Structure 1
Amino acid sequence: MKRFARIASLIFGVLMLALSVMVTLEAILRKTMQFSFGGVDELSGYAVAICAPLAFAVALIDQAHIRINLLYVKLSLRTRAMLDGLSAFSLLLLALFLGYFTVTTVQETQDYASLAQTPWATPLIYPQSLWALAMAFFALVALLLGIRALRLMISKQWDVLNKSFGPDSVEEELKSELADLQRR
């Protein structure tokens, strides 16, 4: 799963870097030569739509989403593990809802042969299909992790559930940061 997160991160990074270069060139050319590529804003919308679900999946795999642990650390292991499992399951439901919305949107786009209302008049089925693939990746990651969390909850493996889906302790975070500092 970590390998897929790395590939998704790489795709995200390349797309965002390419978008940054295009926006920078567009701004410079507009200011200095009154020239515009026309459509950089359109491309940026497509890039963000494709990259957002990839970033969601990477955050889910790497447990990089923000958590507020003020009360969490005061709870029992079982309660924390159950909350972690509920969190994984709720993210699965969110991913399935977003996936449903995405597929519905792509189907409507195909039914109406929708075009972007921009100078390029891009057939929207192409960028939206890439968006749907990225959203499917997020949904698949959420499904796999949600099923794993559910299995751990059913088998009452609270320590494994907490270790797999819970946030790192302060000591673990410190150790990780120091190890990362050593590598650099």
Structure 2
Amino acid sequence: MDPVTRPQGRESGALGRLDDALRRLARGMLLVAGWGLLLLGMLVAVDVAARNTIGRNIGGVDEIAGYIFAIGISWSLAEAFYARSHVRIDFLYQKAPLRLRSLLDVLSILALGFAAAFLAFSGWLVVSGSWGMGSRSASVLQVPLVIPQALWFAGMVVFLAALLVSSLQACLALAAGRHPELAARFGIMSASEEAQEALGAREEKA
């Protein structure tokens, strides 16, 4: 299922529009993170070529790589959630009745939301501390640390926002007894669903 496409049965109105906006933002951030990694690969190739030809490297590539990896990971978290790619233990999940699976799905979103809130709070402490002290990287680049840290923190904020909206939607669906919708949107993908998704991706590329 395309994360930007509205699944059937989802709430309409302001909550649904907010969810759509977050899904589009998460997809855009993932694409930017992917292009960043591609550009990083090109930069590393240029650095290696310069080292082998003129005996000198560009300088600062390792530092830039660290920034891009950290930002890329945080900017991918929300899209991974929408794609149901975060790791969950499903030892007994698939054998549980639908109502119990729905409750477990809601609890898993809430637990992930608490983890995201902790990450966002910790990230804010890092960003605000660097801003207050005017910290710069201890390298030749002298990068103001608040810039890459703020970009990294932005991914945490979007991840938390996605979880807050989805938690509210999941709780509303659970209260209304919309268990199939909960399973389709937030449940662990079965082997057949993963196979169908892989086949769909291959057909799109063909």
What TM-score do you get using the length of structure 1 for normalisation? 0.90
> For each residue in 1:149-169, what CA deviation from the matched residue of structure 2 results, as whole angstroms up to 9, or x when unmatched?
222233333222122101233
Matched, 1:150 2:180: no
2:199 to 171, 178, 181: 178
Q: Tell me if structure 2 keeps the 8 A contact 1:89–1:150.
A: no
1:33 to 50, 54, 58: 54
Whichever structure has more helix as a proportion of its residues is 1
2:187 alignment partner in structure 1: 166
2:87 alignment partner in structure 1: 66
> For each residue in 1:18-68, what CA deviation from the matched residue of structure 2 results, as whole angstroms up to 9, or x when unmatched?
111111211221122212111111111111121111111110011122344
Q: Distance in 2 between matches of 1:4 and 1:106?
A: 22
2:145 alignment partner in structure 1: 124
Q: Tell me if structure 1 keeps the 8 A contact 2:84–2:189.
A: no
Q: Tell me if structure 2 keeps the 8 A contact 1:39–1:118.
A: yes
Q: Distance in 2 between matches of 1:115 and 1:48?
A: 19
Q: Unaligned 5+ residue runs, structure 1?
A: none
Q: Which runs of 4+ in 1 moved over 4 A?
A: none
The aligned amino acid for 1:158 is H
2:33 alignment partner in structure 1: 12
Q: Distance in 2 between matches of 1:180 and 1:115?
A: 43
Q: Tell me if structure 2 keeps the 8 A contact 1:89–1:149.
A: no
Q: Distance in 2 between matches of 1:36 and 1:119?
A: 13
Q: Distance in 1 between matches of 2:200 and 2:32?
A: 26
Count of residue pairs brought into register by the alignment: 184
Q: Tell me if structure 1 keeps the 8 A contact 2:26–2:158.
A: no
> For each residue in 1:78-110, what CA deviation from the matched residue of structure 2 results, as whole angstroms up to 9, or x when unmatched?
111111111111111111111101111111111
Q: Unaligned 5+ residue runs, structure 2?
A: 1-19
What TM-score do you get using the length of structure 2 for normalisation? 0.81
1:103 alignment partner in structure 2: 124
Q: Tell me if structure 2 keeps the 8 A contact 1:106–1:132.
A: yes
Q: Distance in 2 between matches of 1:132 and 1:178?
A: 35
Q: Distance in 2 between matches of 1:124 and 1:78?
A: 47
2:158 alignment partner in structure 1: 137
Of 150-159 and 113-122, more deviation after overlay is shown by 150-159
